[in-house]
């Protein structure tokens, strides 16, 4: 049983034709289901969890990366399958999952190539993609055994499903996250290239003397202490043949 979650961003007139094509294609493929339209006054988490309790087994985000994050926040049962039909801008996660834009994603959903994926967790907030913090200098205790601390304010990335020319691809099925720390080198008043530290890990505890902000798949989390861990195989996600990881 499918639930299609339409975010506010796709419910304007410019998307009417594409949504109509998507709904027709889903019907043709025999995978039509209930549609839930989100709005400012509707709690996405409660709406989705209510439908799961009623028997929904696949929850499909229709929208962008932010829509998918809302769905992942709500779906805590690792047996529930999560998918995305990308519509609109900012669909980096869908691209890495190998899911095409718009109506073409319906065929990917119908093929139902389901991958069990790790989730990252920051203070209990799950994420699929990446968590970042800029201009910070926390003490980071890795695996409870050794500490890493930048010598000056740095950029920190926690990667689960991520791809870049600089660091390659982070695989969300390997049971680990990647800690990436980029610290600017300085010589007199001339900035040189960043010093980069990359550490695969399962658990890191970060502590900062002053409050800092981490963006967890785009959502801000503030504090002085961040408990970061991998949750192995906590999500079942529909992917396409052109996915960007091993």
> Does residue 242 lie in a domain region?
no
80-92: pLDDT as tens digits: 999 999 998 889 9
Please, what is the angle between helix 65-74 and helix 44-53, to 10°? Answer: 50
If asked whether residues 131 and 78 sit together in one domain, one would say no
* pLDDT tier for residue 10 given thresholds of 50, 70 and 90: confident
For residue 169, the cross-strand partners are 163
Q: Which of 242, 246, 190, 205 is nearest to 86 (CA)?
A: 242
Q: What is the CATH number of the domain that holds 179?
A: 2.60.200.40
In this predicted structure, which of 42-46, 55-59, 97-101, 131-135 has the lowest mean pLDDT? 42-46
In this predicted structure, which of 56-65, 116-125, 193-202 has the lowest mean pLDDT? 193-202
If asked whether residues 26 and 99 sit together in one domain, one would say yes
End-to-end CA distance of the chain: 29
- The whole model's pTM is what? 0.88
CA 165 to chain centre: 19
CA 81 to chain centre: 15
223-232: pLDDT as tens digits: 999 999 999 9
Q: What is the pLDDT of residue 8?
A: 83
If asked whether residues 74 and 145 sit together in one domain, one would say no
If asked whether residues 103 and 192 sit together in one domain, one would say no
Position 189 pLDDT exceeds 70? no
28-55: pLDDT as tens digits: 999 999 999 887 656 788 888 899 999 9
Q: Provide the domain count of the chain.
A: 2
Q: What is the CATH number of the domain that holds 29?
A: 3.40.50.10330
- The residue-averaged pLDDT of 168-180 equals 93
Structural domain boundaries enclosing 78: 2-111
């Amino acid at each position: 049983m499918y639930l299609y979650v339409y975010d506010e961003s796709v419910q304007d007139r410019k998307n009417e034709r594409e949504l109509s094509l998507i709904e027709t294609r889903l019907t043709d493929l025999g995978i039509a289901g209930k549609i839930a339209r989100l709005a400012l006054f509707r709690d996405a988490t409660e709406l989705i969890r209510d439908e799961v309790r009623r028997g929904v087994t696949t929850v499909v985000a229709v929208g962008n990366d932010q829509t998918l994050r809302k769905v992942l926040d709500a779906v805590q049962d690792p047996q529930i399958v999560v998918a995305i039909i990308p519509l609109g801008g900012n669909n980096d996660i869908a691209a890495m999952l190998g899911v095409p834009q718009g109506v073409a994603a319906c065929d990917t959903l119908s093929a139902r190539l389901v991958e069990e994926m790790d989730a990252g967790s920051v203070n209990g907030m799950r994420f699929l993609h990446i968590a970042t913090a800029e201009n910070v200098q926390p003490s980071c205790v890795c695996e409870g055994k050794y500490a890493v601390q930048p010598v000056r304010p740095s950029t920190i990335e926690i990667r689960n499903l991520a791809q870049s020319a600089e660091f390659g691809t982070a695989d969300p099925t390997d049971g680990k996250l990647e800690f990436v720390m980029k610290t600017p080198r300085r010589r007199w008043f001339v900035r040189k290239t960043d010093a980069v530290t990359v550490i695969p890990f399962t658990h890191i505890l970060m502590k900062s003397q002053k409050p800092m902000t981490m963006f967890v798949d785009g959502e801000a989390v503030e504090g002085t202490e961040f408990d970061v861990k991998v949750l192995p195989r906590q999500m079942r996600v529909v992917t396409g043949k052109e996915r960007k990881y091993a």
